[in-house]
Every structure is written in C-alpha cells, then in structure tokens.
Amino acid sequence: MTLQQLENLRIGAFDLMPSPEEINARVPLTERAGETVYAGREAIKAILDRKDPRLFVVVGPCSIHDPLAGYDYAQRLKRLADEVGDTLLLVMRVYFEKPRTSAGWKGFINDPRMDDSFHIEEGMQKAREFLMRIAELGLPAATEALDPIAPQYLGDLISWTAIGARTSESQTHREMASGLSTPVGFKNATDGDILPAINAIKSASSPHSFLGINMQGRSAIVRTQGNSYGHIVLRGGEGRSNFDTVSVCMAERALAKAGIRQNIVVDCSHANSLKDPALQPLVMSDVVHQIREGNQSIVGLMVESNLEWGNQPIPEDLSRLKYGCSVTDACVDWPTTEAMIRKAREALQGVLERRLAG
C-alpha cells in the first residue's frame, strides 16, 4: 500500500496561494487607513463599554460583488455618517464571503469573476484593495469571518466582525474569534436559538491554541489571549423574529445568567424581516422605540442596504447585471437607507445620553 493510494484521493490540485505577507506588501496599509480602522474599533469598544452613548449601525450590501458600485455606496455612506455621527456610528457592511446552505455563489474572495473560475488569489487581493479604499475614505468596515485563514490577509482593515448564524456553534470560529483584533458579534442560530451565540461569547473570551497560518503563510500553532468584546446579534430564525421587547428581555436574562454583559445588536434583516427588505425599516423603528422607552441593552443595529432595491440572479452574461443591486439577499435601496438612518437619528437625539447618566 502506497501513500498515493491513501491520501488526497479526491483532491484535483494544490494551487499555491500568496502568503498574507505577500498580499499585504502588494496592498500595504496606509497611515490614513490605519487611523480609520483604529478609530472605528475604539469607538465600537467604547459603545460596548458604555463610555459612548451612541448606537453603531452596520449597514451596507448583503455582499460585495462589484467594487465600483460598492465604492459608490461607500462614498454616499460616508457623507451620511458625517451627518449623523453625533448619535449613530455608521460602519459599512463589507462582506466578501457567503456561507451557503447548499450551493450558490460563495462570494467575491472565492469567485471574484462570478464564473466558477475560483481565482481566490485574485479575489483576496482585490478584497484588500477595496477595504483599503473604504478605510481611506474614513469609513470603518465590518465583515463576516468565515474562512479561518482570511483574517491574516484582511484583518488589519476591519473594525467589527460578525460570526454568522451557521458558524457561531463552530469550535473553529469560536477559536478564531478569540484572537481577532476587533469586537465580534455572534449571531443566534438559524433556528432562532440564542444559546449557541451565548456559549460562543464565553468560549471566545478565553485563550485558545489551534492550527492556523502565520503572515509568511506557514502552518503555525496560533495561541490567542481571548476576546473580551464578544456580544450577541439577534437575527431571528425559522420564520420567526426576535427583535421584539419580550425577545430582547429574554436575551438580556440569558446573558445575565451566563455572566455576560448585556450588549445586544439587532439585525433588521434575515428572519427578523422575513427576508423582505420592506420590513427592515419597521424593525428599526420598533427597536428605536424600545430604546426611547428605556431599553439599556441594545447597542447596535444591522441593515442590508444597497444602491438599488431587492436582488437579482447572476446571469450568464455578466454585462446584464443591474448596477448596485444585490446578487445575494434582497436589500433596501439608498433613498430608503437614508430615510431609515435619519429617522433613527432624529428619534434618538437627546435620548441616548441618558444611558450614561443611568
């Protein structure tokens, strides 16, 4: 019996991937970008520590597939962020990796040409270039950490990280989160159960040792110190929402029972809006009302938003793609986004400061 008869029987090829150090050298961190990332992280940490009364709002496309349209969106969001910054900290949602229940486009990093050619090395570099442009605008970015190796390539350009509903229960992702340099939001499970996210927060707050890669791309034992800025993201599940007052109260009790600070982010999309973008403004209005009525635990919101309303299938002829329209989950359009954010800011002005006093 030979090694060839036992190992890699279903592997077609091993294509070399540039190391994080090589990709970073091609797209080096600029001083302006670094300042943006650092300021974004510190502001979110201050909100979680209740030293800053503002809410942070992670808002942007379900996924990035067209960097030109994404940058167009970012420029508009930066202007809006400057306008509402006294009350709301806007963080752009920049998702390059998409978990799939069965099949489908896996995201810009995995398949940047959207043709199943899977030029991952190209996708990683272009993703870093895009994040750099966003940071140089002065706009902090948020992403979902799906591949445990990707943070070595992009982590220095991220201010907030989500661990998704499908991966909050994963030991690999809990270990990875324990070493991330950003605050991390753990989403409740796809069935709506919040216990996996609470367990994930506890796990990620502790040190871990696991296999990964270093900046030179070599296999390494990664030893983390634990991440004390984990928090829960309520996103509903199995066709039921969990942003209402009772659901939030139940989450508060569960967090308190686990000895975890009651920091809650509400995702206005996914099951909380039944994947209907028209319901996202209603979810946000409800959450804002809870805060006006005295809620102390809700510290952030998430909104799936793009230049155009809804979503579209990926056509064989990519020239037929509609500019600024999602190819994954349906989003609210830009005018609706502006209206939602401005309405929330108006309703919360003079209200959030009372949290610090309390």
pLDDT one-digit tens code per residue, 184-201: 999 999 999 999 999 999
Are 153 and 121 contacting, i.e. CB atoms less than 8 angstroms apart?
Answer: no
β-strands 88-93, 230-234 pairing: unpaired
The CA distance from 62 to 159, in Å, is 17
CATH class for the domain made up of 16-353: alpha beta
- Alpha helices by DSSP H, listed for the chain, are 20-26, 31-48, 67-84, 120-137, 150-154, 171-179, 195-204, 245-257, 280-292, 334-348, 353-357
CA distance 18 to 32: 25
Residue-level pLDDT at 357: 56
180 has pLDDT over 90: yes
pLDDT greater than 80 at residue 99: no
Q: How do the domains of the chain map onto residue ranges?
A: 16-353
294-338 pLDDT, tens per residue? 999 999 999 999 999 999 999 999 999 999 999 999 999 999 999
Position 267 scores a pLDDT of 98
Q: Is the pLDDT of residue 345 over 80?
A: yes
Q: Which of 209, 143, 126 is nearest to 181 (CA)?
A: 143
Q: Tell me how long the chain is.
A: 358
Q: What is the pTM of this model?
A: 0.96
Q: How many CB atoms are located within 10 Å of the residue 153 CB?
A: 27
Per the CB < 8 A criterion, the answer to whether 338 and 307 are in contact is no
Let me know: does 125 contact 17? Beta carbons within 8 Å: no
